[in-house]
Every structure is written in structure tokens, then in C-alpha cells.
Amino acid sequence: MEINFNELLSKKKVILAPMAGITSFSYRKFMNKFNPALTYTEMISDCGLIYGNKKTFEMLQTDGSDRPLGIQLFGGKKETILKAIEILENLPIEYDVLDINLACPVNKVVKSNGGSTWLKDQDALFDLMSEVVKKSKKPVSAKIRLGYNEINVNETVQTLERAGVQFIMIHARTRKDLYHGKARYEELSKVRDLIKIPFGISGDIYTPFDAINALKITRADAVLVARGGVGNPLLISNINHLLNNEELEETNFNKQFEYFKEYKSLLVKEKGEKIATSILKGIAPKFFLNLKEDSKEVRKRLVAAQNISDFDKIIEEFINESNLSKINGEV
């Protein structure tokens, strides 16, 4: 059944943001248990699909447990984006939303006119997105920023709505800001009055209270969980709890260890031990951040893991040394 964004977002307000190098199939499958409205793939290169790049096709892996699922494409030319949509639609993949990345700030993407470059020229943007909407059999969403160098988000959201886009996700920074400085929600205070379609907001969502605050300032329909959710999956369910005036779920070291093991096992299945190890060196410490227990030492040790079995060994050793098992009950 085709997704109706208004209906979907009236029930759930948290979206798992697309993140290159992170939101692959295993991450989406793991995080989907915490009840986001929608998950998104990493950004997928239109030319990668056109030239049959193996790694690009691997990024499309799903078994349906991460649905509702949005597939995000990026590219610098209308023709190649349209061709990639055709390829995508001929694959036996079940997904719910097609997203176009109009937000990526990195040089490699911007140099070939992709990502946030599209925000510079509203005519070209309208031309691209109206053709994408015509071509796509799925509802289309778009991910944008406040602007490229200058802020033009109020104009961009109207261009996208006119083109037939059904949902807009806005990272409250410009291309120039990259990922630095505070997300500027106050720049989005007019968006609600300018468009009828729903929009979601992104930037600096680390606690349920950040989400409520951002939703209040912007009157947005949804909030995106990105960096703040890495290693902290309860962020998604706790935002929903807070919105529903329900009690927040607490975590502790042992619970985080269980979450980590679950994600690790999915990641190994997806990527194999070698690649999983290198991804987890960056992510594993984040599972043990901001806990009541002093976990600084284990985070330091996890970065040095050499192979996949090292992670559990390091954590178990730390538990034994610090007697955490007594504090938290059995592991």
C-alpha cells in the first residue's frame, strides 16, 4: 500500500536519518525495532547504479524488516537520476519512498553538481524534481539544507511542493556550515506557513527534549534521528514516549551491551567480520556513552579492537574488572 505521509506522521514522529557509512541494512533493521516512522538508506549514487557498481548495488540490501523504507539517490544530472530510478524500479526490492539527496555538502559530491548544489538554482531544482515525481512509482521525498551558502530554505520548500514532492526533510544548517555549529531551527519558523505538505527537521537531536524543542520551534511534522541515535537506539522510542507523555525508558551498561551485541551480529552477517570490525571501531564506544556507570576506560579500549571477537572480550573484561555485573544484575 502506498504511504500517506500525513497519516504515517500522525502516529509516529521520528525518522531514521540517512547516514552514509552507517545506515546500511543491518543498522536499519536493528533501529527499526525502536519504532521510527520510516528508515532511509545511505545515499546511493545514480551513476553507481547505471555503471553496475557492485558496492552500490550492495547498498540496496533489505529483507523488508526495515520498512517503511526510503531509498535515497544522489546525482548531479537530471538524466542520470531519472535513469537510476528506472534501474531501481526494475529491481526486486521492496521499498516505500524514493528520496533525492539535495543536502550533501562534501566536495566530491558537490564537484559533480550533486547534493546541496541543487539548492543554488531553483529553476533547475523544479525541473529535476517535477521529472523525478513524474517518473517515480513511489512517493517522493527530498532532503535539503537551509541553503548552499546563503539561506533560501523558504523558497526551496515551495519549489519542492510545486514539483509534487510529498515530504521534505530539512537539515537546519547550510552547506557552508557542514556539520559544525548549532542547528538553526529558528530559520525554519516560517516553513509551516509556506507549504501544506509535511516536513521533518534534522540537526543536533541528542535527547528526547532536543526533539520536542525543535518540533516546537519549527512546528514540523517529524524529527530526524542521526548522530544522536548511533549507539543510543532508545532515543527513537523515548522521543515517542515523551511526545505521548509516557515514562522514558532508562538504560544501563548491560542493556547497552545487549544492544551492541545485537547490532554487531547483524552487521557481521551483512558485511563480514573484517569490514564490520572497522565500522564498529568507530561505533562501539558510542554504545557506552553518557551512562551512569563510568565507562570511559572501556570506550578507550574498544577503539583498539583488532578483530570481531575482541569487542565482546574487551567489554566482558571491563565488566569483570569493575564489577559492573553486580551493580546491574547478570549480563
* Crossing angle between the packed helical segments 25-32 and 253-271, to the nearest 10 degrees: 140
Residues near 270 by beta carbon (within 8 Å), at least 6 away in sequence: 24, 25, 26, 61, 276
Smallest gap from Cβ 323 to ligand FMN, in A, equals 35
20 near ligand FMN (CB under 6 A): yes
46 near ligand FMN (CB under 6 A): no
221 near ligand FMN (CB under 6 A): no
Smallest gap from Cβ 19 to ligand FMN, in A, equals 4
The stretch among 17-25, 192-200, 244-252, 316-324 that binds ligand FMN (CB under 6 A) is 17-25
101 near ligand FMN (CB under 6 A): yes
283 near ligand FMN (CB under 6 A): no
Binding mask 58-77 for ligand FMN (x = CB under 6 A): --------------x-----
Q: What is the DSSP string of 269-285?
A: HHH-HHHHHHHHHHHGG
Residues that contact ligand FMN, how many (by CB under 6 A): 23
Give yes or no for a contact between 198 and 164, defined as CB atoms under 8 angstroms apart: no
CA separation for the pair 140, 152 (Å, rounded): 21
CA separation for the pair 181, 204 (Å, rounded): 9
Q: Which three cell numbers stand for residue 29?
A: 533493521
Which alpha helices (H) appear in 164-229, and where do they start and end? 191-194, 208-218
First CA to last CA distance, the chain: 42
| Nearer CB in complex with ligand FMN: 203/231 | 203
Candidate residues 66, 161, 204, 221; the one interacting with ligand FMN per rule CB under 6 A? 204
Smallest gap from Cβ 179 to ligand FMN, in A, equals 6
Closest-CA residue to 226 (of 211, 213, 243, 244):
211
Candidate residues 4, 10, 21, 321; the one interacting with ligand FMN per rule CB under 6 A? 21
Q: Which three cell numbers stand for residue 6?
A: 500525513
171 near ligand FMN (CB under 6 A): yes
Site of interaction with ligand FMN (CB under 6 A)? 17-22, 42-43, 72, 101, 103-104, 143, 171, 179, 202-205, 224, 226-228
